[in-house]
Amino acid sequence: MNQKELMLLDWMRKIHQLEYAHCFQSLYFSRIEKTIGVSAFILSTAVAFTYRFPFIGYPCVKEYILPFILFLVAILTGYQSFIKPGEKAETHRKLGIEYEKIRHEIETILTGKMDDPKLDSHIAGVKNKWDALNTIYVSQRHYDNAKAKVKSFNKYPKELDFIKT
């Protein structure tokens, strides 16, 4: 393999890691959204049905526990409204798709355009698309998981192997 192929494979590895990292981050925010939403729904439904039964004989339940549960529901729905995990999940999902498109473009170059006289312009086009992405950070845990997943494929050379020292 020549240096350009190794460089493209290194880029492809990095992009593949970022693709998975954003997908993992998207799934994380989706789970948070569902957990908060379902929890708030269950708690508020439970409180609504307890008011339907006026024969609850424990005044502390009506005076303290039920209002506290409603307070928790307000916190959960407020958190979901202001933190917006659903929107964050969608943003990370879209970024993952953009990284996937760039990775496929590199695959196209590696499988058919390595002898193309315009190889440098194809590489520059990939670099420009990668640079133009309005990316956001992912958690270190999700990045590490993505890195381990991509490494398990055993299809990329060693990191920065294209740099000759």
Residue type, 113: K
The predicted pLDDT at position 82 comes to 95
The predicted pLDDT at position 93 comes to 97
Per-residue pLDDT band for 47 (boundaries 50, 70, 90) equals: confident
Judge whether 51 lies within some domain.
Answer: yes
Q: By percentage, how much of the chain surpasses pLDDT 70?
A: 92
The predicted pLDDT at position 15 comes to 96
**Residue 107 is part of which domain span?**
3-147
The predicted pLDDT at position 56 comes to 66
The predicted pLDDT at position 54 comes to 66
Measured distance CA(154)–CA(139) in Å, rounded: 24
**Residue 113 phi, psi (nearest 5):** -120, 15
Is the pLDDT confidence value at 152 over 70? yes
* pTM score of the predicted model: 0.84
Is the pLDDT confidence value at 114 over 90? no
- Mean pLDDT score of the chain, rounded to an integer? 90
Judge whether 158 lies within some domain.
Answer: no
**Hey, what are 150's tokens?**
């991509």
Judge whether 165 lies within some domain.
Answer: no
Judge whether 153 lies within some domain.
Answer: no
Domain count, the chain: 1
Instruction: List C-alpha distances in Å: 58 to 43, 61, 73.
Output: 19, 6, 22
